[in-house]
Structure 1
Amino acid sequence: MNVRRRSAAALAAIAVIGAAAPAVAADPSPSPPVLAEPDRTAGLYGTSDPTYDGVWRQSLALLAQDAVGAEPPARAVRWLTGQQCADGAFAPFRADTAEPCDARTAVDTNSTAAAVQALAALGGHDAATGKALTWLKSVQNEDGGWGYTPGGPSDANSTSVVIGALTAAGEKPERVTEGGKSPYDALLALALPCGGDGEGAFAFQPDGKGELSANADATAAGVLGALGKGLVTGPGKAAEAECAGSGEPTRREAAAGGAAYLARAVATTGHLTSALAGAADRPDYGNTADAVVALAAQGGAERAAKPLRWLEENAATWAERSGPAAWAQLILAAHATGTDPRDFGGTDLVARLRATGPGAPAVSATITATAASADDEKKKDDDGDGGFGVWWSVGVCLVAGIGIGFLLSGRTRKQP
């Protein structure tokens, strides 16, 4: 979850008093601010402003490297653990970790759950993950799920990433209950029934009338959540029935229905799409990578073959432009399908990710020039991608004006 969510990442949802608001961009290609070198060498991956995605981006970078046997630098791990509040929660970014968290610290479930998954995978951080899980349980909603902010209405993406955190830490999500409801109860309540538009998909949240609308990003997250899996997963077994039929679906039936929806969504072009208001549909790279992970986890690598091939052929320029979380998403997609991340359409994803991290040598002039040239050629065609490019910058500007933002992976955008 999304990351993925943000995935996972980009503008997922803008959470303001529990409501989601879509973003509209006047300029499709703003440049993110750049951190000063001392901040970067303190351990953070990437050089763009971490205000709204620092912990998420760092967690994905650490997870992706661990998944393929590449040991992250110790100071990158220290950066992440240093972001934790005393009560166990994580905010997207704390500029001054010497200052204790208080009521003004914008902690959230997604940053916290992603950090748990990363630290659990690395091992040796039981105290940190234990405190984080205690906090997550303390903000569980009565329907069994989680919203992005404590007390916000449950959504498929947040609930799924917390399920992944519980599983990563060795807990059984079905035993984590509130009001007699488990996370799976909340998640399955967001699965669309068979028949009609979007059958088998997951909704992000019910709309104002309590109705559910299919959302591809929420579906990718929901498939993993229903399977009890986290952001890192390998190929699953052959797909089951595509829809559960009448009545409430089981977890595995809901996962199968969600995967079938994603398979239909990518069947023609090989990718998911998103659009800025009033603009033509654009390829959504980040959510396509999330869909690859979900399809492979539910139905095996073969089911994800078409969108994986599309990513191999098209996603390197997007990731170069978008940063470490994008490289991590591609690594996780490769890992989920058993594909070599060090030769992903001719690109070494692991080297590219590590080049964005602390202590890494500068990316070679050849790589930089090649990426810049490719970027110039494709900018008008696909700059509205689903990762941490346009939507991330749009979200930063919008959130600066209206309050707390949920900027992980495109959850309020138009979906196929």
Structure 2
Amino acid sequence: MTTIRRSAIALAASAVLGLAVVPATAQSAVAAPSPKPSPSAALPSGLYGQGDPTYDGVWRQSLALLAQDTVGVVPAKKAVDWLTGQQCADGGFPSYRAEATKACDAKLPLDTNASAAAVQALAALGGRDDAVDKTVGWLKSVQNKDGGWGYNPGGASDANSTSIVIGALAAAGATPAEVTSKDGKSPYDALLTFAKPCGGKDGGAFVYQVASPGIVADSTAAAVLGAHGKGLVVNAAKKDTKGTVCEKATTIEGAAHNGAAYLAKGLAKSGHFDTPPMPGAKDTAPKPDFGNTADAVVTLTAQGLTEQVDQPLAWLEKNSAAWAKENGPAAYAQLIFAAHAAGVDPKSFGGQNLVTALNSTGPAPKESSPTSAAASSDEKKGETSQSSSTVWWIVGVVFVASIGAGFLISGRKKRN
């Protein structure tokens, strides 16, 4: 999921709910007021990043902690406590709440993406089973009839949200295929509805929503991971011998192959994806999409298309330093996930130490743990995981929603 777009997506999603301007594709959603940015407020000492956390506080914290765990760094206790303290009584997480000592406001929109990312981080860190179980229970309770999830409860299912929830379910030890709606639909049933057939525009890709395609490389990167039951952290899978040929698919496995083939072909020319300009932007030139390119590296590795990873990985090593510095913890985390998936040392990534850079954006972590995910990476090899960056994972989510709703989002604030 692409981090850079998370602010725009969350903002758009909240705006859609708050203004009751819901795209025709959305299910009837409970109106909720948009959270108000508070860039002047003092940031919590346990939070990673210096930008306004209104739309991505829980998201970037979760990615930061998960990335630290992935490379063998034990996060600071207050950083983990801050994340668990964002959880509401029913188990759901909002994008951010400033007054965590008070009960969650009933009008505060809960965020399935932030909740799912928090589950992945807390499950990886261990010792917080109660919090994980409570959030998983909440996610199950807001599953849509089609088997998927929307950005906020009550919203229409989308590929990005459904995929990151699948990753959370798997991280918590559940079997995603067995988590079904009242209509008997699984998350994979929902994902298949977003898969495009081969041939024609974006053949083989996964759209964000059927009526709101969005930037399909973003939703495709998320959906392929979800199709494999994977979260944000992955290890290389067995080689996909089908290569990049798109074939007629009626199963989620076939759709995942086609989605990965779409990504590989999209990266073949330049080694990276581009982000089109926001509606109404003065600068109409596309910009490199670092976050989505990093996500694609993870996705291709999970699919077993490791040969197609070399070019985008090299491009990221050469060009991502300024982007990561500008966008902060979530951006560094995405690059760490990409490096980990590809078997590259994140401490020597194109001349930058991603681990040191990530650690510097928040409270100093504890010493590295010898039993961490990084320390056991050898055992895991061969097993089948507003800002201008990517979540999963997101256009993902609301850049698309804003287009579907017919309104423009401008003046996005960059986040760190």
Per the TM superposition, whether the score is higher than 0.5 is: yes
Please, what TM-score do these two structures have when normalized by structure 1? 0.79
SS of match in other structure, 1:131: helix
Aligned partner of 1:150 in structure 2 is 153
Q: Is the 8 A contact 1:200 1:254 kept in 2?
A: yes
1:166 matched to 2:169? The reply is yes
Report deviation, 1:19. 3.4
Residues 69 and 7 (structure 1), Cα distance of their counterparts in 2 relative to 1, 3 Å cut? farther
Q: Is the 8 A contact 2:331 2:389 kept in 1?
A: no
Aligned partner of 1:207 in structure 2 is 211
Aligned partner of 1:114 in structure 2 is 117
C-alpha separation in 1, matches of 2:228 and 2:346: 24
C-alpha separation in 2, matches of 1:386 and 1:78: 26
* Equivalence map 1:121-132=2 (5 Å): 121-132=124-135
Report deviation, 1:323. 0.8
* Equivalence map 1:7-406=2 (5 Å): 11-12=8-9, 14-15=12-13, 16-17=16-17, 18-19=22-23, 33=39, 36=42, 39-41=43-45, 43-178=46-181, 179-207=183-211, 215-241=216-242, 242=244, 245-246=247-248, 248-276=249-277, 277=279, 279-359=284-364, 385-387=388-390
SS of match in other structure, 2:196: coil
Report deviation, 1:7. 8.5
Residues 72 and 121 (structure 1), Cα distance of their counterparts in 2 relative to 1, 3 Å cut? same
Percent identity between matched residues is: 55
C-alpha separation in 1, matches of 2:39 and 2:330: 16
Please, what TM-score do these two structures have when normalized by structure 2? 0.79
C-alpha separation in 2, matches of 1:62 and 1:259: 27
C-alpha separation in 1, matches of 2:303 and 2:4: 17
Report deviation, 1:9. 5.3
Letter in 2 for 1:261: Y
Q: Is the 8 A contact 1:34 1:48 kept in 2?
A: no
C-alpha separation in 2, matches of 1:12 and 1:104: 19
C-alpha separation in 2, matches of 1:173 and 1:186: 12
C-alpha separation in 1, matches of 2:179 and 2:205: 24
Q: What number of residue pairs does the alignment pair up? A: 357
Report deviation, 1:10. 5.2
Report deviation, 1:40. 4.0
Letter in 1 for 2:115: T
Q: Is the 8 A contact 2:5 2:387 kept in 1?
A: no
Residues 85 and 301 (structure 1), Cα distance of their counterparts in 2 relative to 1, 3 Å cut? same
Q: Is the 8 A contact 1:301 1:338 kept in 2?
A: no
Aligned partner of 1:367 in structure 2 is none
Q: Which segments of 5 or more consecutive residues in structure 2 lack a partner in the other structure?
A: 26-37, 366-385
Report deviation, 1:163. 0.1
Letter in 2 for 1:175: E
Letter in 1 for 2:342: T
Report deviation, 1:213. 6.9
* Aligned residues: CA RMSD: 3.0
SS of match in other structure, 1:19: coil
Larger mean CA deviation between 79-88 and 228-237 belongs to 228-237
C-alpha separation in 2, matches of 1:317 and 1:327: 11
Report deviation, 1:105. 1.4
Residues 187 and 271 (structure 1), Cα distance of their counterparts in 2 relative to 1, 3 Å cut? same
Q: Is the 8 A contact 1:9 1:325 kept in 2?
A: no
Aligned partner of 2:374 in structure 1 is none
